[in-house]
Amino acid sequence: MSTEKNKASAAPIPAPPVTPAIPGPPALAGAGVPSPSSGRGKKKMMLIGMLVGVLVVLVIAGVVAIKVANSSRTPEAEVRKYLDLLAAGKASAATAMVDPGVNNDQRTFLTDDAMASATSLLVIEEVAADKNEDAETRQVSATLQVNGERFTHAFTVTKEKPTMGVLNNWTVKGSLAAPVSVDASGYTQFTVGGVSADAPRKLVSGKPATYLFYPGVYTFTPVAPSEYVDVNPKTVAVLDGVHGGTTSYADDADVSLIATYSDELKEAALESAKEFLNSCASIPGNQNSDCPFALQSDAVTAISVKTMPTSLEPLEIDPGVFQGPVTFAVTYSDKYYMPGTRDVDAKVVVNVQFSNDGLLKLTSDGKPDFFVGAPL
């Protein structure tokens, strides 16, 4: 019984049912799985294209920028830049841009301070270059004004080595600084805008002093060497030369500073005249050869000044000579003349003494040095 039971238990277990397979979509002919390397190639090509595009834009922008920059680096633009500096009174910057081509001793007034004192400066009307656009040397003409007076100046402008090989450079030749000659009589110095310089007398030095000035209207103020000398300023317009100066002959100075003398000198001359006349009205002071001849006789027994001058006036033709009337009362013995007292009219003349350089001479105590005489 056990054997039959065992056989019955060893019978095979049936397998589970099989589910039928569902067919997938048909595969396209030639299709395959994309490889990672082909995707990276497309990105690389896109990046190269973008970089090329950026470079093209940059090149175009650079060319445009160079053209724009060079449009302001033309011969006429360079000349206008120079003229703008002068119109603004920037003398130092203008000198640095265009060399005046003279020694430093003639550049005393090419300063901002001197130009700041000008009552009128440069006005720019027109700047035009010639038509030779490909030339290395260009001519630029500028029409300008100072104080309403118009003038034209021609500049030469030369092309220089370009910056970085592409930016144009031009150099302006021909400074607008004009020479102004100054001659002084009675002064040794003058100032313009607080800047001072020597003014030797032409008769002594042989020629007037010459200094450069940029266009403008300037006042030349002499420096008075003492209280006896007046200050007589002179105003001139400097354009491409000097306008409104004192030139009358080719060898004259553009600016002549001629001293006149103050009331203090006139008073000092009168005091000196009175001292001299009182001396002539004394014995033996009357024997001075500079006293009137009628007083010098040894027949004179008494003299007095009957009418003393109250003022002296300078001669019109020579402001260094003062004169005035005087009357003496003179008493004579019968030695040579008819005895008695009579009036002797004379004229006292006071000559101011000058040094060789035209300066008023002073005595050791700082007073004017005079020569006094009273001829009949």
Q: State pLDDT tens for residues 206-247.
A: 677 899 999 999 999 999 999 999 999 999 999 987 765 443
Residues 6+ apart with CB under 8 A from 305: 277, 278, 281, 326, 327, 328, 329
- Per the listing, tokens 């700082």 go with 366
Task: For residue 304, give both structure tokens.
Answer: 């007095």
265 pLDDT band (50/70/90 cuts)? very high
Q: Are 231 and 224 in contact (CB under 8 A)?
A: yes
Q: State pLDDT tens for residues 118-153.
A: 999 999 999 999 989 889 999 999 999 999 999 999
End-to-end CA distance of the chain: 200
Kindly report the average pLDDT of the chain as a whole number.
83
2 pLDDT band (50/70/90 cuts)? very low
Of 220, 244, 222, whose CA–CA distance to 234 is shortest? 220
Which of the pair, 336 or 62, is modelled with greater confidence?
Answer: 336
Q: State pLDDT tens for residues 14-34.
A: 555 554 554 555 544 444 555
pLDDT on residue 321: 93
Range picked from 9-23, 38-52, 318-332 for highest mean pLDDT? 318-332
Of 375, 368, 301, whose CA–CA distance to 339 is shortest? 301
Task: For residue 30, give both structure tokens.
Answer: 């030639």
- Per the listing, tokens 């000035």 go with 213
pLDDT on residue 332: 93
